[in-house]
Structures are given as structure tokens and as C-alpha cells.
Amino acid sequence: MQPFGLLVLGLLEQLYWLTRLLQANILTAGLAASNLALYAFVYTPLKQIHPVNTWVGAIVGGIPPLLGWAAASGQISLNAWILPAALYFWQLPHFMALAYLCRSDYAAGGFRMLSFTDASGRRTALVALRNSLYLLPLGFLAYDWGVTSGWFCLESGLLTLSMVAMAFSFYRDRTAKGARRMFHGSLLYLPVFMSGLLIHRLTEDEQVQKEPNSSKLFGFLSSENLRLDRENDDEIIKPRKESPIRNHTRPPVAYASVAPFPFLPAPVYADCDL
């Protein structure tokens, strides 16, 4: 299919989702509109101008999980970035292997990819290796931010190390065989990663009970904390009373949420009577 036909199909798909997301909230619609503009007016023209198009395309591919999160919660919280980060950093080693395998086809089609000006393949393989390494902290962050249990931290680390090993093998053996191995291995990463998120996700009760380390850094206190009040020289433990103002103004409990896209349930909201 000609590039113009592919552009039209892509625009139609983006417009379809934009009309659906307009029914959710303004934040979701704004993200969808931004992604549409980025795809049509930045990423697509850059394909024939500069190799940076691959990095821009990775941003386009990483935004959809944010759309699901924003549609469910009406905001973008810190742990909403786990899936977008996984998609962004995964796309680069995945595509660099493909770009190396099909570099002659891209050159014939007029697409300026990094592999087109990288005859030895060293820079292409190095980008794949570097971005595979960037995937390593995601399992720990998912655990630290209260999205999953500690088992996912371990399993995600082992999964990413296998991805790093394939990328390093591609870097050392910059041949079609090494690139194909990298490409096929990358195809397994996302379904295994997302399945791990599903299997090891915390239940709503476990999420509420787990206080993330990030909240401690800012001195936030959980509603489950107790304080010591001394009366008549006796220490009495009493539950901490929530401020009426805090109850009315507190946003959805971001750290007690898990991304709803593509498998996980919608974010948990704090009780508030507005």
C-alpha cells in the first residue's frame, strides 16, 4: 500500500478513537487529539526527513495506556506511566532490529531510518541495547508504587535481563540472524510483561493498605496511621482523625490505583462528599 493510503488509514483510526474518547472527559480527548496531531503532522512527515522519526513514533505508541488511565480516573498520576514507559522503551529495540533487517526496503521506499546511514549496524544495535536496559527499573517501580506484588519485581527483572541479553547478542553479532533473534525475542516481551502485571497486581484492599515509599518522601500520612496522645501520664493510642478539608479536596488515590489498559481494573477513588 502506498504511504498516502497508510496515512489515511492511520488518520481514520485515530479519528475513530478520538470521537469515542470525547465521551469520556476533556483530558482523555486532549491526549487523543495530541496523539493524532503527533502522528499525522510530526511522525509521518519525519519518516522521509530524519531518523528521529523512530523516537517520535515510540511516543505515539506509548500514549494509548495514558488514554485508558485518563478515561477511568480523569487524571494522570505517577504510576500511570509504567505501561507507557514499557511501550516506549520496548518499541526502540523491537524496531531497530526490524529496521536493520529491512534497511534496503526502507531505503528503496525513501524512509530515513537510523539503519540506512549505519552500514556497520553498530549504532542501531547500541540503541537497542541501551533502551533494553531502560526497561530494568519498571518492575521495581510497579512494586514500589503499589501496583503489583514483589514477585512481579523479580519476574520483570529476569524478563528484561533476557531482553538485554538478546540486545547484547545483536550488538556483538550484527548480522541478519542476530537482528532476527532480537526481533522475535522482543515480540514475546510485551505479552509476558503485561501478563505479569495481571497475575501479580494487588487487589483493591491490598492497594489501600500499601503505603508507597514515594508518599513518605513528601511527608503524607495514611489514614491508617495512629498517633500517640498522652493523657494523665498514660499513653493512649488513638486513630488519627482526618481533616474535613482534606476529605473534601483529596484527589483520587493515585498510588492505590492500577492502570486499566489493557488488562487491569480502573483506579480506586478516595471517598469524598462534594
Confidence of residue 187 (pLDDT cuts 50, 70, 90): very high
Q: What is the pLDDT of residues 204-258, one digit of tens each?
A: 656 656 554 444 433 333 333 333 344 444 444 444 444 433 333 333 433 333 3
Residue-by-residue DSSP string for 48-69: TT-TTHHHHHHHHHHSHHHHHH
Quote the pLDDT of residue 181.
Answer: 92
* DSSP structure class, residue 243: P
Quote the pLDDT of residue 151.
Answer: 93
* Residues across the chain: 274
Quote the pLDDT of residue 162.
Answer: 94
Distances (CA, A) of 129 to 170, 179, 228: 8, 12, 52
Confidence of residue 117 (pLDDT cuts 50, 70, 90): confident
Q: What average pLDDT score do residues 15-39 get?
A: 77
Tell me which residue of 199, 124, 132, 183 sits closest to 160, measured CA to CA.
132
Which 3-state string (H, E, C) describes 184-238? Answer: HHHHHHHHHHHHHHHHHECCHHHHHHCCCHHHHHCCCCCCCCEEEEEECCEEEEE
Q: What average pLDDT score do residues 261-272 get?
A: 43
One-letter amino acid at 18 equals L
Please provide residue 226's backbone torsions phi and psi, each rounded to the nearest 5 degrees: -115, 150
Q: Which of 115-124, 178-187, 229-238 has the lowest mean pLDDT?
A: 229-238
Domain boundaries, the chain: 7-64, 77-202
Q: Which of 18-22, 191-195, 200-204, 262-266 has the lowest mean pLDDT?
A: 262-266
* Stronger pLDDT, 9 or 137, i.e. the higher one: 137
Tell me which residue of 57, 18, 23 sits closest to 34, measured CA to CA.
18
Distances (CA, A) of 111 to 120, 124, 137, 202: 18, 15, 33, 44
Among residues of the chain, what percentage have pLDDT more than 70? Answer: 65
Please check whether the domain covering 77-202 is classified as CATH 3.30.1360.
Answer: no
